[in-house]
Structures are given as C-alpha cells and as structure tokens.
Amino acid sequence: MAWQICHQGHFLLVQCLQEVLRCSAPARVVVVSSESHRFTDLLDQCGKMDLAVLSPPQKDYWSMLAYNRAKLCNLLFSNELHRRLAPHGVTANAVHPGNMMYTAIHRTSFFTLACPFTKSMQQGAATTVYCAVAPELEGFGGMYINNCFRCLPSPQAEDQATAASLWELSERLVSERPSGLQAV
C-alpha cells in the first residue's frame, strides 16, 4: 500500500489533471520526495523494473524500504512528467521538505535527540511553496530541490530508462483502476 499511496495516487491525480495543467500553462507540478530516495533502488536482480520490488508480498515487506522506494518513484515520476509536459508549458520539480516531527513521537524522549535535525511545519513547507511560486523557477523543471536549493539526486533518480519504465508500469496500473475512479 505504501507504494500505491505514495506514488500511484500521485501519478493518477496528475493523469486526471493533465488537460487542466496544459490549458493553464505556464503551470507547475511540485512532487514531494525525500532524501531517503538515496537508500534504495527499484530494479530486480536482472536490472528490470518489477512490480514485486515496488509492492512486495507481506513476508518481504519492510516499511522503511517501501517508503524509500516510493520516494525514489516520486523523483523518477517528476523527471518523466517534466520531460513529457515541458513542451506544453508545464514544469515539474521534486522537493525534499525536510524532516518534521509532528506526530506522537515529538512528545517522547526521542524527540529531544532528533529535534536539532527536524523542521517546523512552516520550515518544511518552505521548499514546496518556493517551487510552486518562485519567479526565478518559471519555466525550469526536472530538478530536485532541498532547502530551497537545487541539488543532485541519486544517480538512479536521474536514469531516464528507469523513469520511462516506471511511467509505463504506472500508466498500465492506473488504466486498470476500478470504474468508479474516472478521470476528472
């Protein structure tokens, strides 16, 4: 479910909004990823995109690995979306909002240790808002932004073949969606 919620849901939403985005050009899409994308890969032992890697059976599931993979998918999706929609005046960038501690954990002793490495909700939102409205980013996409600065993502996040394979898999899966989930 992590991959389906963190990636497929975003993919489906943007697919449903593509026509609106094109008609609204210049338009921007900001995709929330994470630095944790650096700690995984998406390919099976043969170097192919495999749904079993993205959405493993419960016996092989580890929540942190699933999260990392979903965030790598978000970066690949953002890059491929930009490649496909830039000719229509739509840009896409991926962001790392930072680590925010606004859950039950912030009331524990762990929070005291983690606090110097976390952001407030306002600080966490800053990079997303920056990518959405900064005049200097008008017309620029295909970037990964952290703390309101462009930075290099992992090498796999920049792999165009992996991005295209993920797009094709995602497209196939959302086309199989239940009939109640029609495009807007």
Whether residue 54 contacts residue 69, with contact meaning beta carbons closer than 8 Å, is answered with yes
What tokens does 132 get?
Answer: 């959405």
Q: What is the pLDDT of residue 178?
A: 60
Examine the residue annotation and report whether 67 is marked as an active-site residue of this protein.
yes
Residues of the chain with pLDDT under 50: 100, 104-106, 111, 113-116, 183-184
State the chain's mean pLDDT as an integer.
Answer: 84
Buried residues in 6-35 as b, exposed as e (16+ CB within 10 A) = bbbebbbebbebbeebeeeeebbbbbbbbb
Q: What is the pLDDT of residue 180?
A: 53
Query: Global pTM?
Result: 0.84
Q: Give CATH for domain 2-175.
A: 3.40.50.720
Q: Which of 61, 67, 130, 144 is catalytic?
A: 67
Q: What is the pLDDT of residue 47?
A: 81
Q: What is the pLDDT of residue 105?
A: 47
Q: What is the pLDDT of residue 132?
A: 96
Q: What is the pLDDT of residue 14?
A: 95
Q: What is the pLDDT of residue 124?
A: 66
Whether residue 145 contacts residue 130, with contact meaning beta carbons closer than 8 Å, is answered with yes
